[in-house]
Amino acid sequence: MACSEKQSGGYNPRLALLKIRHINEGLIHEPVVCRQCSNSYCQTVCPVNAVERDDETGAVLIDRNKCTGCGLCAKYCYFGVIRLSNEEKKAEKCDLCGGSPACVRECPTGALELVYSGGGDNND
């Protein structure tokens, strides 16, 4: 909900970059979101170097100005969390909202946290 509102200005989880998959009659609910991989395929396959890591937040970001909408990043993302926007045909992914994710801020139960592996804030 929070993510879709951030993305689109209205509510619809289909427009969110964080998805929940419902499996086996609802016995399992699996959150699926970009893991900001340290070996990020999206970054490696991008032919125009539009994908870069933000040193401050650790997020892997897509530069919309450079992106040509070729879709290779989405194709090779193992978790399927990159999509092409409908209007502009630009690749979109979770950017950790600049370091303070809306999903974490607005989660009513505190189930979500932003954690950097290795401790510290974003050393790795």
Partner 1 sequence: MIKGYMGKFLYIDLTKEEVREIPLPQWMAEKYIGGKGFGAKILYDFLPAGTDPLAPENIIMFMTGPLTGTAAPSMRACVVTKSPLTGTFLDSYFGGHFGPEIKYAGYDGLIITGKAARPVYLWINDGEVAIKPASQLWGRDALEVNAAIKEELGDDTVKVVSIGPAGENGVRYALINCEYNRQAGRGGTGAVMGSKNLKAIALRGSRQVRIEDTDTFKEAIEKANAELKESPDVQALVETGTASAVPFANETGLLPRRNYKDGTYESANKLSDIGQSKHLWLKSAACMGCPIRCSKMGVVRTGKYAGTISDIVEYESAALIGSNLEIEDIRAVAYLVKLCDRLGLDSMSAGSAIAFAMEACEKGLIDPPEDIKLEFGSVEAAEYLIKAITFREGSLGQLLAEGVKRAAEKLKGGAEEFAVHVKGLESPAWGPRGVPGMGLVLMTADRGGCHQRGFPVAYEAGGEKWNGKPVEPLGLEGKAEMVAQLQNYLAGTDTLVKCDFGGFGVQPATYARLLTAATGRTVGEDLFDHVGERIWNLTRLFNLREGIDYTQDRLPARFVNEPLPSGPNKGHRITEDDMKFLRTDYYKVRGWDEKGVPTGATLDRLGMQDNDKFKL
Binding residues for partner 1 (CB under 8 A): 1-2, 4-5, 8-15, 22, 24-27, 29, 106, 108-109
Of 47 and 110, nearer to partner 1 (C-beta) is: 110
- In angstroms, the CA 53 to CA 40 distance is 9
Of 111 and 115, nearer to partner 1 (C-beta) is: 111
Of 109 and 123, nearer to partner 1 (C-beta) is: 109
Shortest distance in whole angstroms from residue 25 CB to partner 1: 5
Residue 15 and residue 4 in contact, taking contact as beta carbons nearer than 8 Å:
yes
Shortest distance in whole angstroms from residue 36 CB to partner 1: 24
C-alpha angle with apex 25: 23 to 26, nearest 5 degrees? 65
CA 25 to centroid of chain Cα atoms: 26
The runs of H, that is alpha helices, within 12-108 are 41-45, 72-76, 102-106
Of 51 and 82, nearer to partner 1 (C-beta) is: 82
Shortest distance in whole angstroms from residue 20 CB to partner 1: 9
Shortest distance in whole angstroms from residue 39 CB to partner 1: 29
